[in-house]
Amino acid sequence: MTTSRTRTASTRAVATIASSLLALGALGACSTDTTASSDGSVAVGDTDAFPVTIEHAFGETVIDEAPTSVATVSWANQDAVIALGVVPVAMPFSTYGGDENGYLPWTLDALEALGDERPTLYSDTDGIPFDELELAGPDLILGTYSGMSDDEYSQLSKIAPTIAYPEVAWGTDWTTQLDVAGQALGLDDEAAALQTEIEDGIATAVESAPEIEGKTFAYLAFSSTDPSVVSYYTPTDSRVRFVESLGLVIAPSIVELSKDSAEFYGEVSAELADTIDADIVFAYVDSPEHLAAVEADPLLSAIPAIASGAIVVLDDPTFILSTSAPSPLSIPWAVREYVPLIQEAATHVE
């Protein structure tokens, strides 16, 4: 079995589910940890908690003392660290969805709230630049959400204790990211508290929008190059699971279409658009003009939600990343940004 290194959608999904369960278990474990600091400071980890041992796909990593400089690899991992009030020494430059300085908006917001300190941003266009990480001199490298290979893991381990994904590549949800970061930094309690806070925030946001509860949805991608097909994300996809966490329900037709598929993504001809029986459609489009073209298309406009205007328009890579690579910072951001859009879309449900 090489599941720990594959990253197909199905395994991604299984991982998400599995890691959610793991996270719940881990949380229970955390609450029995009585050595946590009590003064509420999140700037410095609890030194008594160390050494800490963290299990992951490539074995166990022992962190002997509270890390003072953390580097992160792959997307999203910096967010868990920053969410806990620690500015990493090095993190990747985001070419996709980031601003011209390479920051994703939720990451930048959180960094700004912490002060003027900024990490070194490195380019990973050619893979992880190990020498730049070495130069940054971290004493911990976090790659909880990643698809690193064991070669990459062993190189990183020579720089500093490194934590890979728990079981399945790209399958780590935000609660696990937060939990692992909390353990690694000696900020267990803060991580647990933050998780509760974020979950409460989601719950509040969902409660404040009761009209979206139970609405069915389909997560679709439209291509401006070829409007004769519609792509849909299957129930295994992290985007779809995020929307479900807001209280919506995936449309039966999408479940039906994806039932034999292990992929996170499928295609259906626009001629069958009317069978996409969702109250609300989440629609990836290139631009507002592209959306107008979709709405004007005689077949695509046969999707009931497109016809009624119950559309959550996603025409920005940042939006795509916020839920396809979910993190403790991107999820609250996504909730804040998505819920009003879903509410607006829900007013059009007929």
Partner 1 sequence: MPAAEPWAQAAGADRAPRPSPSPVAVVRAARRERTTRYRVVTTALVAVTVGLVVLTLCVGAFMVSFVDVLRVVGGADIDGATFVVWDLRLPRTVTAVCVGVAFGLSGAIFQTLVRNPLASPDIIGITAGASAAAVVAIMLFGLNPDLAAPFAFGGALVAAAIIYLLAWRGSVSGYRLVLVGIGVAAILNAVVSYALTRGDVIDANEALVWITGSLNASSWGRLPGLVWPLLALLPVVALLARPLRGLQLGDDLAAGIGVRPERSKLALIVVAVALAAIATAAAGPVAFVAFVSAPIARRLAPGSGLALVPSGLVGACVVLAADFAGAQLFGDTRLPVGIITGVIGAPFLLWLLAQSNRTGKG
Partner 2 sequence: MTQTTTSGQPVATPRGTRPAGPRRATLVAGLLLGLAAGLLVALVSVGVGARQVPLDQAWAALTAYVPGDIAHEAVRSRVPRTVLGLLVGASLGLAGALMQGLTRNPIADPGILGVNAGASMFVVLGIVVLGVTSPAAQVWFAFAGAAVAAVAVYWVASLGRGGPTPVKLALAGACITAALTSVITALLIMNTRAWDTFRFWQVGSVAGRSLDIVGTVLPYLVLGMLVALASGRVLNALSLGDDLARGLGQNVGRARGLAAVGVVLLCGGATAAAGPVAFVGLTVPHVARAITGPDYRWILPYSGLLGAVLVVLADVLGRIVAHPGQLQVGIVTAFIGAPVFIALVRRRKLAEL
Interacting residue ranges for partner 1, rule: CB under 8 A: 5-9, 11, 93, 96, 121-132, 134-135, 147-149, 151-152, 154-155, 158-159, 169, 263-265, 324
The closest of 208, 328, 226, 338 to 282, measured between CA atoms, is 338
Strands 216-222, 229-233: pairing is antiparallel
Which two three-digit tokens encode residue 196? 């509760």
Considering the complex, state which of residue 199 and residue 263 has its C-beta at the smaller distance from partner 2: 263
- Pick from 268, 277, 309, 341: which binds partner 2 (CB under 8 A)? 268
Considering the complex, state which of residue 98 and residue 119 has its C-beta at the smaller distance from partner 2: 98
Residue 108 contact partner, candidates partner 2, partner 1, none, CB within 5 to 8 A by sort of partner: none
- Pick from 31, 154, 228, 347: which binds partner 2 (CB under 8 A)? 228
298 binds partner 2 (CB under 8 A): yes
Strands 120-122, 311-314: pairing is unpaired
Site string for partner 2, 104-143 (x = CB under 8 A): ---------------------x------------------
Residue with the two structure tokens 């969410």? 83
CB 190 within 8 A of CB 154: no
State the nearest-atom distance from the C-beta of 266 to partner 2, in Å: 7
Considering the complex, state which of residue 164 and residue 205 has its C-beta at the smaller distance from partner 1: 164
- Strands in 195-320 per DSSP E: 216-222, 229-233, 249-250, 265-269, 280-284, 311-314
Considering the complex, state which of residue 75 and residue 106 has its C-beta at the smaller distance from partner 1: 75
Considering the complex, state which of residue 133 and residue 185 has its C-beta at the smaller distance from partner 1: 133
HSE-up (13 A, CA, CB side) for residue 108 = 13
- Give, as ranges, the residues between 69 and 98 that touch partner 2 (CB under 8 A): 95-96
Distances (CA, A) of 166 to 32, 55, 90: 21, 7, 22
Considering the complex, state which of residue 135 and residue 268 has its C-beta at the smaller distance from partner 2: 268
Report the distance separating Cα 322 and Cα 121, nearest Å: 19
State whether residue 73 is helix, strand or coil: coil
Query: What does residue 246 show for φ and ψ, rounded to 5 degrees?
Result: -90, 5
- Pick from 203, 271, 292, 347: which binds partner 2 (CB under 8 A)? 271
How many residues touch partner 2 (CB under 8 A)? Answer: 28
Residues lying near partner 2 in the complex (CB under 8 A): 95-96, 125, 223-229, 257, 266-274, 286-287, 289-290, 298-299, 302, 317
